[in-house]
Chain A
Amino acid sequence: MADTVLSIENLRTHFYTRDGVVPAVDGVSLSVRGGETLAIVGESGCGKSVTALSVMRLVPAPGRVLAGSRVYFAGLDLLALSEREMRTVRGNKAAMIFQEPLTSLNPVFTIGRQIGESLRLHKGLGKKAAREKSVELLARVGMPQPERIVDEYPHALSGGMRQRAMIAMALSCGPRLLIADEPTTALDVTVQAQILEVIRELRDGSGMAVMLITHNLGLVAEMAGRVAVMYAGKIVEQGEVSAVFDSPGHPYTEGLLNSLPRLTGRTERLPAIPGVVPHPACLPAGCLFEPRCAKAAERCRVERPELLLRPDGRQISCWPQN
């Protein structure tokens, strides 16, 4: 089994807003091995993006990663690095792509310049070498006419092409970890499939670890080996994708799976989970999911369950049913 590339222990990232403290991420622990894809799923607002930004140390103000959190990456204690040291990691050994391909590229610089910038910064390439390498990278992510595209500005590219350019940029320095935050959400289905194929190929080819953030469970089944289900800043279930999908251990996971569209029959209204994610500033005293849980018992209302490791390797935070 390959080495663990990323290991997060008890990550807590809170936002100190004027209206109070928002515990956006509250005690998350997870790890990703080389060549593996770990999916992080959960409804919008569950803390997926903040988890990713915490790893990259790019949490915007007024957010802060709390003391006691640990992020180990390729033998480095990331949270202990100086900002200067951290910059040698970002975009180099650990790269991130974002949900918004349309706005994530700088409109006044050519694609080639933006990809080349990472290469010149981290690999010390000259202008010409960086441009040649950029063309090569664009070709590798399946960009049509890379020699032409390299001199284009982002506005001349479609959303799918821009996301390819983003991936080329992220992969330029041969990262050991790729964090993809909803990389295909804004794209149509065929483009989505192409982008995922690119990521998969690169992962299998180079043994890169991938942390794939998505709320699309179909995508998880297709791409990931393991999955972590997040709810209100915490992980509520974690395990092998096949096992979790076959027999979800947490009612929230079950709810997510039930709201998946099935390919059989007519398009009927999907049984979505009733209610909404609680606002992080006013969380329930007991289990965080209890107000929305069909199986909630008295104990769930008063006592919060821990995330426990079961003998089969699955982690679930739910009181034993019955």
Chain B
Amino acid sequence: MRRYVVRRVLLVIPVMLGVSLIVFLLMHFTPGDPALLMLGERATEEQLQLLRQEMGLLEPLPVQYARFLGAALQGDLGRSYRSGRPVMTEVLSRLPATAELAVAAVVIAVLIGVPVGVLSAVKQYSLLDNAGMLLALLGASLPSFWLGLMLMLLFAVNLGWLPPSGRDGLSSLVLPALTLGAGAAALITRMTRSSMLEVINQDYVRTARAKGLPEKTVIYSHAFRNALLPVVTVIGLQFGALLGGAVITETVFAWPGAGRLAVEAIRAKDYPVVQGAVLMLAFAFAIVNLLVDLLYAFLNPRIRARYK
């Protein structure tokens, strides 16, 4: 198991190198002169050239990348053009809000998706199964900005039960988390259902019945533990995707997260912040995936055994 953990952790390095390179190149080839952005239209050509030199923009690209990477490794992602504060500080101050939203969304998605999926499979073709699958179809196909606006309209504007936007306590978390988690809930429901259906027909489930175990134990202990394996992977991937996908939901609900920070920064052409936010979100994504893989290995004796 330890060998597996080490291998899996080392795998994060090339992934992050790739992401950093892509982000760096994208920023570099985006039209617009950073020096001009910082000094404004009235700066003289001399002043601009001086700043470019100071920022290292005149050096060859690989050198610039190496410098960017070296600084990033020490936690220095540059400074915001707008506020002048370190990008790291800006992003870190927003990351907890995004993490909170993503975690809440995943929790909601799992709490809905797993039970509905299991019940749908156990009672295949029943009313409950059909209703569950219809909901899953809706959840997967509704665009999140539309769903977000509808939820906001119903629960915040019409019923007045929940705040329409902002981040202020648990009640303000409900609507954005529901909006963000809907798609994941749909996916997890379908995955759980199909996984359960497959497992229920396995020979070892028949063996469990032949032992005289009650049907509840057969389903929830013998079948469920096996059905869970692919579901865990999907949950992990969804969690990662939610970190990045929070951009729209955060914008709709004015949620002060890293996604919205990136959107604001793009609008203001604040490239270091865009770069930093994307990099940090990608890093969070990689870490979450790492944790999921480790959990999967822990649940699956075959993988555990391979790296003993």
Contact = CB atoms under 8 A, between A and B. Distances in A.
A280 to B, nearest CB: 22
B214 A87 contact: yes
A260 interface: no
Given A103-B202, A103-B203, A108 B209 contact: no
B204 A104 contact: yes
B206 A108 contact: no
Interface residues of B, number: 21
A235 interface: no
Contacts of A155: 301-302, 305
Contacts, number: 70
Interface residues of A, number: 28
Contacts of B214: 87
A217 B104 CA distance: 63
A107 interface: yes
Contacts of A96: 210
Nearest to A93: B212
B212 A107 contact: no
B301 A104 contact: no
Interface string B74-101: 0000000000000000000000000000
B305 A58 contact: no
B47 interface: no
Nearest to B226: A108
A170 to B, nearest CB: 8
A87 B204 contact: no
Given A103-B202, A107-B301, A108-B226, A90 B212 contact: yes
Interface stretch (A13-21, A115-123, A136-144, A238-246): A115-123
Contact of A118 (B203, B212, B226, B305): B212
Contacts of A109: 222, 225
A92 B212 contact: yes
Interface string A284-310: 000000000000000000000000000
Contacts of B226: 106-108
Contact of A104 (B206, B212, B225, B300): B206
A229 B300 CA distance: 44
B130 interface: no
Contacts of B229: 108
Interface in B198-240: 202-204, 206-214, 222, 225-226, 229
B108 interface: no
Contact of B300 (A90, A100, A108): A108
B107 interface: no
28 contacts: A56-B210, A58-B206, A58-B209, A90-B212, A91-B210, A91-B212, A95-B210, A98-B203, A98-B206, A100-B203, A103-B202, A103-B203, A103-B204, A104-B203, A105-B204, A106-B204, A106-B208, A107-B204, A107-B226, A107-B301, A108-B226, A108-B229, A108-B301, A109-B225, A118-B212, A121-B213, A153-B301, A169-B211
Q: Top 4 nearest A-B pairs by Cβ distance?
A: A91-B211, A90-B212, A91-B212, A153-B301
